[in-house]
């Protein structure tokens, strides 16, 4: 009997000890001390930036003073619905043990702990919502987190604040710039004088939103930021842009844009931007300049100071123009009418200005009973989307000059499979038949009909036309160019595909000088390389 009583007493003691261990034992494997995570991001004023719903990755640092229960820069992945995971199961050092908890996004693949300094950078090109989000930086810190006091529903609630500044530019334009179809007349906005680099000190930060700027040191030279066009309210003639900036006190900023084809600049001295704050700058514009609106407000992130003052200015040149030269090596022919073996199409954009070089088209319509195949044309793939600033041609040899050349661009992102590889080689004079033999064949008639039908389905935008006044019996190279003015540049004529179409002199005009073909020695294209100092992709 005594042995049985002893056994029961020992078992009871073991059971009590086991219960005590479940509550306080910090060793890995104890489910009661496993770290579980939930997230929340403070409410933004637009969807361009991190939100609770869109956050999918962040860095987590938990320091406890015990190396076995310290987790440095763990990459957390998941979402608010599916939950958050990392590459190991983590445990609290104890339910009453104080921990330092830091979370931040976007995640950096680096060696970081709770005393680290982290580089923060915003993009100069924030012209898309994705680019604004990529520039956002959010974080939280609790330097004395105890699980017994601070868990929410048994989880570590990671509630991150926006550390940088969101800037909204709200621009009201006059009725004179409005259009019946509601097209936005404002374009090309940039903001000069902004620092884009900073260092954030996890160790120096006490975790409060108001002190975040004290731990965030802007550095480097000021840059120009291209903001995101958030909305256009055509009924009220209001355009709103936004971007994320490094909190700083600026000596001067300059906001440049085009409205109704007219360039404007608005400057402001000593603009203060606080951490986590959303600033709205309301401007109105008319043909006399830019005025600061009366409803300058600060958004719901934090309360900030009021902006006053500003100097209107009109007439700044926002565009940097350059001619494409070496970039022509990326060009290719997508489809075209026939060319001649002694003047293949590729010679029209090879940067060779020799008078004997160039693209010789098929024979002139109706010349010496030649078939009427229409105006020669070529669709050139520029290799990437290009913002046109001007076009032109070089001609040589008077008897084969075109009468005019029209240029078109399309915003269509991709044109494919209009012609076969065999047909392309015939156009480029790399395969038989080509030249006169092909042009006079029924195969070419069918080919041209197919190409023109496909071409008619593409939304081409006419960007310019060069004209040659008359044929003269003289030789020598001549350039005919169109350089776009600010109104044309403000249309942002961007595209990957350029169509070049030649108009012949009549058969009678050509007959006077003995020509039967048209020739373009070289095609010139100028592009916008920078807008208000920001490189255009």
Residue with tokens 């012209």: 127
pLDDT digits (tens, 9 = 90+) for 240-251: 999 999 887 766
Higher confidence at residue 29 or residue 480? Answer: 480
- The answer to whether residue 87 sits within a structural domain is yes
**pLDDT > 70? residue 288:** no
Q: Say yes or no: 261 and 218 in one domain.
A: yes
3-class DSSP assignment, residue 345: helix
Lowest mean pLDDT, pick from 131-145, 440-454, 463-477: 463-477
| Domain membership flag for residue 22 | no
Domain boundary among 299, 317, 335: 317
Asked if residue 16 belongs to a domain, the reply is no
Residue 356 resides in a domain:
yes
* pLDDT at position 353: 79
Is the Cα dihedral 491, 487, 478, 330 positive or negative?
negative
Extract the tokens encoding 30. 């104890």
Q: Are residues 116 and 236 in the same domain?
A: no
Do 151 and 194 reside in the same domain of the chain? no
The model's pLDDT over 344-376, given as tens digits with 9 standing for 90+, comes to 888 889 888 777 788 888 776 655 666 778 889
Q: Same structural domain for residues 328 and 424?
A: yes
Please state, in angstroms and rounded to a whole number, the distance separating the CA atoms of residues 143 and 69: 15
pLDDT-derived band at 25, boundaries 50, 70, 90: low
Instruction: Answer left, alpha or beta for residue 249, where phi above 0 means left and psi between -120 and 50 means alpha.
Output: beta
User: What is the torsion angle, in degrees rounded to the nearest 10, for the CA atoms of residue 408, residue 414, residue 420 and residue 423?
Assistant: 20
One domain, residues 294 and 335: no
What's 338's domain CATH number? 2.60.120.260
CATH of the domain at 128: 2.60.40.2620
Whether 20 is covered by a domain: the verdict is no
| Nearest by Cα to 209 from 31, 321, 41 | 41
Instruction: Report the C-alpha gap between 177 and 182 in whole angstroms.
Output: 10
Indicate left, alpha or beta for 315 from its phi (over 0: left) and psi (-120 to 50: alpha). Answer: left
Phi/psi at 328 (5° precision):
-65, -20
Confidence of residue 301 (pLDDT cuts 50, 70, 90): very low
Q: Classify residue 226: in a domain, yes or no.
A: yes
Whether pLDDT at 523 is above 60: yes
Bigger pLDDT: 362 or 56? 56
My answer on whether 342 and 403 are in the same domain is yes
**Residue 214: closest CA among 201, 229, 227, 196:** 201
Task: Kindly report the three-state secondary structure assignment for every residue of 196-255.
Answer: EEEEEECCCCCCCHHHHHHHEEEEEEEEEEECEEEEEECCCCEEEEEEEECCCEEEEEEE
**Cα–Cα distance, 347 to 361 (Å, whole number):** 12
> Is the domain of 248 the same as that of 289?
yes
CA distances 523 to 46, 321, 365, 408, Å, are: 45, 17, 23, 13
pTM greater than 0.75:
no
Compute the residue count for the chain.
Answer: 537
Answer yes or no: is 237 within a domain: yes
The predicted structure's pLDDT at residue 162: 86
The last residue of a domain, from among 287, 317, 347? 317
- pLDDT-derived band of residue 10, with 50, 70 and 90 as boundaries? very low
Q: Are residues 81 and 39 in the same domain?
A: yes
Looking at the fold, whether 129 and 179 belong to one and the same domain comes out as: no
Joined together, the tokens standing for residue 258 give 């085009």
3-state secondary structure of 301: coil
5 within domain boundaries: no
Boundary-marking domain end, from 317, 341, 369: 317
Do residues 181 and 132 both lie within one domain?
A: no
Give residue 239's pLDDT: 94
Do 348 and 522 form a contact (C-beta atoms < 8 A)? yes
pLDDT for 214 beyond 80: no
Q: Does one domain contain both 338 and 471?
A: yes
Give the range of the structural domain holding residue 145, as residue numbers without chain letter.
32-162
Query: Same structural domain for residues 326 and 274?
Result: no
CB distance 529 to 536 below 8 Å? yes
pLDDT at res. 454: 95
Domain count for the chain:
3
The total of other beta-carbon atoms located within 10 Å of residue 79's CB is 14
């Amino acid at each position: 009997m005594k042995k049985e009583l002893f056994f029961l007493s020992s078992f009871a003691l073991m059971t009590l000890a086991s219960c005590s261990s479940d509550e306080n034992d910090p060793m890995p494997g104890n489910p009661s001390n496993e770290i579980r995570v939930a997230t929340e991001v403070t409410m933004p004023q637009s969807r361009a930036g991190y939100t609770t719903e869109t956050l999918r990755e962040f860095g987590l640092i938990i320091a406890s003073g015990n190396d076995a229960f310290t987790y440095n820069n763990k990459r957390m992945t998941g979402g608010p619905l599916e939950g958050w995971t990392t590459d190991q199961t983590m445990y609290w050092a104890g339910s009453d043990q104080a921990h330092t908890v830091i979370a931040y996004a976007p995640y950096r693949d680096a060696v970081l702990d709770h005393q680290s300094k982290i580089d923060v950078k915003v993009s100069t090109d924030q012209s898309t919502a994705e680019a604004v989000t990529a520039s956002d930086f959010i974080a939280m810190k609790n330097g004395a987190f105890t699980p017994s006091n601070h868990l929410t529903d048994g989880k570590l609630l990671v509630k991150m604040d926006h550390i940088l500044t969101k800037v909204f530019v709200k621009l009201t334009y006059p009725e004179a710039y409005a259009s019946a179809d509601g097209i936005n007349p404002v374009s090309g906005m940039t903001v000069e004088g902004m620092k884009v680099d900073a260092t954030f000190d996890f160790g120096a930060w006490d975790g409060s939103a108001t002190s975040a700027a004290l731990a965030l040191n802007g550095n480097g030279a000021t840059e120009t930021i291209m903001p995101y066009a958030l909305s256009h309210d055509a009924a009220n003639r209001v355009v709103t842009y936004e971007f994320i900036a490094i909190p700083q006190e600026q000596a001067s900023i300059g906001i440049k844009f085009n409205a109704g084809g007219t360039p404007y600049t608005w400057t402001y001295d000593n603009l203060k931007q606080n951490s986590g704050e959303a600033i709205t700058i309301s401007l109105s514009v008319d043909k006399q300049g830019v005025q600061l609106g009366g409803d300058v407000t600060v958004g719901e992130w934090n309360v900030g100071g009021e902006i006053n003052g500003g100097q209107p200015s009109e007439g700044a040149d926002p565009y940097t123009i350059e001619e494409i030269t070496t970039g022509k090596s990326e060009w290719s022919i997508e489809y075209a009418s026939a060319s001649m073996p002694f003047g293949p199409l590729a010679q029209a954009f090879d940067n060779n200005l020799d008078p004997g070089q160039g693209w010789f088209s098929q024979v002139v319509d109706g010349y010496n009973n030649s078939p009427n195949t229409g105006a020669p044309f070529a669709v050139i793939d520029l290799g990437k989307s290009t913002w046109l600033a001007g076009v032109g041609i070089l001609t040589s040899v008077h008897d084969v000059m075109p009468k005019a050349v029209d240029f078109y661009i399309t915003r269509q992102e991709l044109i494919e499979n209009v012609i076969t590889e065999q047909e392309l080689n015939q156009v480029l004079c790399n395969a038989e038949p080509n030249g006169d033999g092909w042009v006079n064949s029924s195969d070419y008639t069918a080919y041209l009909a197919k190409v023109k039908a496909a071409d008619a389905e593409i939304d081409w935008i006419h960007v310019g036309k060069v004209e040659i006044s008359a044929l003269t019996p003289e030789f020598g190279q001549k350039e005919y160019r169109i350089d776009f003015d600010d109104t044309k540049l403000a249309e942002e004529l961007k595209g990957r595909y350029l169509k070049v179409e030649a108009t012949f002199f009549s058969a009678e005009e050509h007959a006077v000088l003995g020509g039967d073909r048209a020739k373009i020695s070289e095609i010139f294209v100028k592009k916008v390389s920078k807008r208000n100092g920001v490189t255009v992709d």
